[in-house]
C-alpha cells in the first residue's frame, strides 16, 4: 500500500496490531516523513548504565501512547517510523563497556575513542542518506554522546543553525575521563562545527568550574539558562511563558534540539544515567518547544538521549519522543 492507502486503512482510535513500527503506526522508513534512528550506545557512561537498552524499552512503551496530539492536527498521519535496532552496534557497545569497567588504561581509552569515531561516521552517513531524501531525522539514545553524527550531517545540509539543549549538565568537558566522545563532551564536540552559531542551554544545574570558564570565554555563542536562575525568577513572580520567550529570542531561525532527559525533574526519569534534583516538568518542556515552533523557527532535527530502560522512564520517553516529532513536523509544515 502507498502512504495514502495506509492512512485510510488505519484506525488511530483502536489498539494497533502493528508491532513492527514505533507507536504501532502503519509506516516504514521508506514512506515516513520522519525517521528515528535508534543508537544503543553508552560506552562512556560515568554513573548508572541502562540507556543502551532504552531504544528497545521506548519501542515497547510506545504502543501504549494514544496518538491524538492537541498541538498538531492529525499528527499520526505525518508519517513516523523507527529503524530496526542494530544488533551489531549493541554487541560493540557491550564489548567496549565491559573493557571500560575492567580498567581505564590508555589502550582502552584509545579503543573507546576509535569506537566512538566509528559510531559518529556510521550515524552521519545514515542520517545524510535520509536527509538527502527530504526526510527529517531524530536519534534515540543511548547516552548523550550518541547524536554527534546526526549533528555533523545537519552541518552538511545547513550553513548555520542554533542548538537548544535541554539538560541538567552543560556537557562541555573536553575528553572527559580521557574519552574524546564522552557523553559529558557532546556539546564541546558539537561546537567544533562552525555551522553552529548559538548554543542555548536550559535547565542546567550540575556543572564544573572549567565549563563555566568556557561559557564566559564564549559568551556571545553559548547562552546558559541555569535552573537556579529560572527558579529564582519564578519565585519572584515571573511566569514560564515570559522565560520561554527569552530563551527562544536567543535562537536563530533553524534550530536543532538536543534533549537529555535528565533535564527533566528526576521523578520523570529516575533511571537516567546521571539524575540531578530539580529540572523541568513534562508540560513545561512541551510548552517551550511549542512556543519555539509558534515563533516561526524551524526544528531541523533532534535527539532524545539518556532515557532509562525501566517501564516508567521509557513510558515518559516514548511520549516525549512522539510529541517532539510532531512539533518538528509542524515547524517544517509537513504534509502530503
What is the per-residue DSSP string for 110-178? HHHHHHHHHHHHHHHHHHHHHHTTT-EEEEEESSTTTTHHHHHHHHHH-S-EEEEEE-SS----SSGGG
Q: Is the pLDDT of residue 18 over 80?
A: no
> CA 61, 64, 67, 70: dihedral to nearest 10 degrees?
-90
The answer to whether residue 336 is domain-embedded is no
Is residue 335 predicted with pLDDT exceeding 60? Answer: no
pLDDT digits (tens, 9 = 90+) for 100-117: 888 778 888 999 999 999
pLDDT tens track for 222-264: 999 999 999 999 999 999 999 999 999 999 999 999 999 999 9
Other C-beta atoms within 10 Å of 43: how many? 27
Task: Tell me the backbone φ, ψ of residue 152, rounded to 5 degrees.
Answer: -65, -40
Determine the pLDDT at residue 48. Answer: 87
Q: Quick check: 334 pLDDT over 80?
A: no
Measured between its terminal Cα atoms, the distance across the chain in Å is 15
CATH number of the domain enclosing 20: 3.40.800.10
Tell me which DSSP letter residue 83 carries: P
**Predicted pLDDT at 108:** 85
Does residue 144 belong to any structural domain of this protein?
yes
Average pLDDT over residues 77-103: 93
In 3D space, the residue among 269, 264, 289, 272 whose CA is nearest the CA of residue 164 turns out to be 289
> Peptide bond preceding 142: is omega within 30 degrees of 0, i.e. cis?
yes
Mean pLDDT score of the chain, rounded to an integer? 95
Q: Is the pLDDT of residue 336 over 50?
A: no
Range of the domain at 148: 3-331
Residue-wise pLDDT for 286-312, tens only, equals 999 999 999 999 999 999 999 999 999
**Domains held by the chain: number:** 1
Q: Is residue 215 part of a domain?
A: yes
Cα gap 85→62, rounded to integer Å: 15
pTM for this entry:
0.96
Does residue 74 lie in a domain region? yes
248 falls within a domain:
yes
Return the closest-CA partner of residue 188 out of 169, 170, 161, 163.
170
Residue 146 has a pLDDT of 97
pLDDT for residue 192: 97
Amino acid at each position: 500500500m502507498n502512504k495514502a492507502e495506509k492512512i485510510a486503512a488505519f484506525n488511530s482510535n483502536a489498539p494497533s496490531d502493528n508491532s513492527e513500527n514505533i507507536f504501532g503506526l502503519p509506516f516504514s522508513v521508506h514512506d515516513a516523513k520522519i525517521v528515528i534512528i535508534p543508537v544503543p550506545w553508552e560506552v562512556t557512561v560515568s554513573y548508572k548504565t541502562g540507556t543502551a537498552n532504552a531504544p528497545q524499552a521506548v519501542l515497547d512503551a510506545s504502543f501504549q501512547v494514544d496518538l491524538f496530539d492537541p498541538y498538531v492536527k492529525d499528527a499520526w498521519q505525518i508519517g513516523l517510523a523507527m529503524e530496526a535496532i542494530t544488533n551489531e552496534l549493541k554487541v560493540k557497545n557491550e564489548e567496549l563497556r565491559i573493557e571500560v569497567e575492567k580498567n581505564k588504561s590508555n589502550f582502552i581509552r584509545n579503543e573507546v575513542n576509535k569506537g566512538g569515531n566509528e559510531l559518529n561516521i556510521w550515524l552521519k552517513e545514515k542520517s545524510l542518506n535520509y536527509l538527502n531524501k527530504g526526510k527529517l531525522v531524530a536519534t534515540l539514545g543511548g547516552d548523550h554522546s550518541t547524536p554527534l553524527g546526526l549533528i555533523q550531517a545537519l552541518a552538511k545540509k545547513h550553513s548555520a543553525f542554533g542548538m537548544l539543549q535541554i539538560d541538567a549538565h552543560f556537557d562541555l568537558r573536553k575528553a572527559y575521563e580521557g574519552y574524546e566522545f564522552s557523553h559529558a563532551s557532546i556539546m564541546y564536540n558539537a561546537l567544533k562545527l562552525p555551522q553552529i552559531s548559538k548554543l542555548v542551554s536550559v535547565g542546567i544545574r550540575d556543572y564544573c568550574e572549567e565549563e563555566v570558564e568556557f561559557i564566559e570565554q564564549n559568551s556571545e555563542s553559548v547562552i546558559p539558562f541555569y535552573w537556579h536562575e529560572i527558579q529564582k525568577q519564578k519565585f519572584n513572580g515571573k511566569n514560564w511563558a515570559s522565560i520561554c520567550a527569552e530563551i527562544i529570542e536567543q535562537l536563530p531561525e533553524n534550530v536543532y534540539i538536543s534533549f537529555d532527559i535528565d533535564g527533566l525533574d528526576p521523578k520523570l526519569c529516575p533511571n537516567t544515567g546521571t539524575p540531578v534534583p530539580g529540572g523541568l516538568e513534562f508540560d513545561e518542556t512541551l510548552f517551550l518547544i511549542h512556543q519555539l515552533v509558534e515563533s516561526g523557527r524551524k526544528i531541523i532535527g533532534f535527539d532524545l538521549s539518556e532515557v532509562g530502560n525501566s517501564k516508567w522512564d521509557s513510558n515518559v520517553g516514548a511520549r516525549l519522543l512522539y510529541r517532539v516529532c510532531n512539533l518538528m513536523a509542524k515547524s517544517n509544515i509537513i504534509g502530503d
